[in-house]
Chains A and B, each alone.
Chain A
Amino acid sequence: MTAVETAPVPIRPGFVTWVRQRLFPNVASGVVTVILTPILVYLGYRAVMFVAVNGRWEVVSRNLTLFMQGTFPRDEQWRIVVQILLLALALGVGASTAGAAAVDRAREAGLPVVKQPLSQVVRRFWPIGLFVLVLLYFASTLTPWLVVAGALAAFGLGNTARFLPSRLRNLGWLLMTLLIVAGFQVVSGTTGRSWVMSAMLVAVGVLVAFPLDGLAPRARLAARAGMALLAAAVVFGIYTLIPLEGIGWDQWSGLFLTLWVSALAIILSFPLGLLLALARRSSLPAIRVLATGYIELIRGVPLITLLFMGQYILPFTLPPGSNLSSISRAIAAMTLFTAAYVAEIVRGGLQSLPTGQNEAAQALGLSASKAMRLIILPQALRAVIPAMVGQFISIFKDSSLLYILAINEFLGVRSLVHAQADFRSIAHAETLVFVAFGYWAFSYSMSKESQRLERRLRVGL
């Protein structure tokens, strides 16, 4: 079916008319045009000259690996490659499972299913796509090309999860969880305490995959607890049987480190912030005072101070013998910091809801916790998506402060580059522009995704 175009075709004004209407509509605008045009043309000229002619970009192309993975041992690079492939596969499985679930829902509701054209996907991810293209442009070996091609292929392979029958749809989520865990373990290894995090993730995946809706409440609770424990036990067993020595945090660096540190801080701070927001609204004074005190204390201290405290004070507060790496301590500081802000954002969302929503839920006999979980939080969180994502973008960029703790994340890698004899006192601008471009590509993609999520969840409703 094609829609009939009824909108009148706008008449394109001629160039002279356009210039007169847009650039010289009155004297004041004309003056601004006359002053601004040469400045902008000059700046544009300098920018183009810098990027295309004068820039000594070999500083990036010769150090591409350093920017991406920093001082991560070169012999162990295969681990990162495998991780990228596994995560691309996980992303494909997750995306296609979510898509197929949405299609199922639309079918059930009798709504038309619109297939997303490829151009829309490109438009959605163009900042990161551009960044990858720039990386490929700077690539001096075949490896980056192979990794990108492999990742695309893995993503495509993961997309076959959409052919799972609807009944087994939730298995897609479990598969995605397993792939993410595997991707993480390929780098960090299976020895030590690494099984704890994996066991928790896998247990959650299993619970999502098998919701056991049919059972009676008490039996269901018992069955789910048993299932989660079993999953954790299996993970522990596998990790014990296959001890793969890993590359610890302390050897991670470059963009690789920046992405992981930010992702973990974001993922961990969200539930913590949610709990803090609820605690601050609790009717129990002790909990309320503690939460309020925590939030106000953290918000009153600069992140950089917290990062230093994480390095120099946190070790004394932990039991002796627990030697956290400085990166774990930095992640802890970033998480504690962001959680306080997330808490205030969520609280704002909770306060924006009319009291009638809670009253209606109560009048229907919903318990306070169910009213919160099913009625209040979904609406409150939707309302604060823009502010929340803004906070997440902020902590992503602030991960560059780790540089001051002598951790060589994406920005810090520059100091290694410029320690090289060839680039000791030259090409600082080039590396800065490259790093800034990298931060921008990811931040802008996050921002675009948040706008998309807003539209999807119809915040404006």
Chain B
Amino acid sequence: MTSRPSAPAFADATKAKGEAFIEVTDVDKFFGDFQALKDININVGKQEVVVVIGPSGSGKSTLIRCINRLEKHDRGSIVVDGIELSDDIRNIQEVRKETGMVFQQFNLFPHLTVLDNIALAPRQVRRQPKREAEEDAMKLLERVGIPEQARKYPGQLSGGQQQRVAIARSLAMRPKVMLFDEPTSALDPEMIKEVLDVMVELAEGGMTMIVVTHEMGFARAVANRVVFMADGQIVEVGTPEHFFTDPQEDRTKLFLSQIL
């Protein structure tokens, strides 16, 4: 193992301003011989919105998938709301109850109606009565703007509608933090806005969010901090203004010049 580089200049920026809600410390992750995450340190505070950007294969998705343990990290520690992720299945379940996740491919359950997609987890995991869970689900559907689709199946909806249902499904578990894994990357351009609008509203409502995205407009508008990753490392962390006006690292400049 080569010696690690000394603490980078942005070390202070990896700390959350207030109380840390998610603490990722010295995390490494391997897929076989390939190291997907290298010495990741990042804290996320309550009600903070962190946007993670970077080229594909840079480890952005792997990072947020480690936070709700869809991937197991190999070294370091991840603590969510005071619960450390370990092999203990109870800890994992506790963390998953507190974190919602929205996927690039929506991953709605095609054999269930929209309403059942949303009401399933509250009924099964939180043991909410059916009627109550369905009432809550309807409220969430109104919040994401598609209550009239409640009885349809996901296959009958457009991509943008499906992703809004997926967001409602995550919110139904009343999570304390929402993880977004490229939520608009699989959408047709005209549908991106309807999903981003829901996410902006969520951020303005005070939800703690980690968002992996290429939507720079979203980052500029709602992010408290932006994290730039490349080759499994955090290259640079800072406010959106810092990123879009005064990026420090060459890799960051190169990446931004390619996508902006």
Contact = CB atoms under 8 A, between A and B. Distances in A.
Given A110-B151, A359-B107, A360-B101, 19 more contacts: A109-B113, A109-B151, A354-B105, A354-B107, A356-B103, A356-B107, A357-B107, A360-B103, A360-B108, A362-B70, A363-B96, A364-B120, A365-B125, A366-B125, A370-B124, A375-B109, A379-B109, A461-B110, A461-B155
Given A363-B96, A365-B97, A357 B109 contact: yes
Interface in A86-114: 109-111
B258 to A, nearest CB: 28
B185 interface: no
Interface in B55-108: 68, 70, 93, 96-97, 99-101, 103, 105, 107-108
6 contacts: A363-B99, A364-B120, A366-B120, A374-B120, A379-B110, A461-B155
B225 interface: no
Contacts of A360: 101, 103, 107-109
A407 B108 CA distance: 52
A379 B111 contact: yes
Main secondary structure of the interface of A (DSSP, over half): helix
Nearest to B127: A217
A75 interface: no
B29 interface: no
B222 interface: no
Interface in A252-273: none
Interface in B33-75: 68, 70
Please provide the 7 A-B residue pairs with the shortest distance between their CB atoms, ordered closest to farther: A360-B107, A356-B107, A364-B121, A363-B101, A365-B96, A365-B97, A365-B125
Interface string A422-461: 0000000000000000000000000000000000011001
B4 to A, nearest CB: 31
Interface in A308-329: none
Interface string A400-431: 00000000000000000000000000000000
Contacts of A378: 111
Contacts of B173: 364-365
Interface string A56-93: 00000000000000000000000000000000000000
Contacts of B153: 458, 461
- Which interface residue of B107, B110, B120 has the most chain A CB atoms within 10 A? B107
- Which interface residue of A357, A365, A375, A379 has the most chain B CB atoms within 10 A? A365
A53 B101 CA distance: 73
Interface residues of A, number: 26
A60 B121 CA distance: 60
Nearest to A461: B155
A397 interface: no
A447 B130 CA distance: 37
A367 interface: yes
B170 A364 contact: yes
Contacts of A375: 109
A382 interface: yes
Contacts of A359: 70, 103, 107
A362 B69 CA distance: 9
Contacts of B96: 362-365
A217 B128 CA distance: 11
B93 A367 contact: yes
B176 interface: no
Contacts of A357: 107, 109
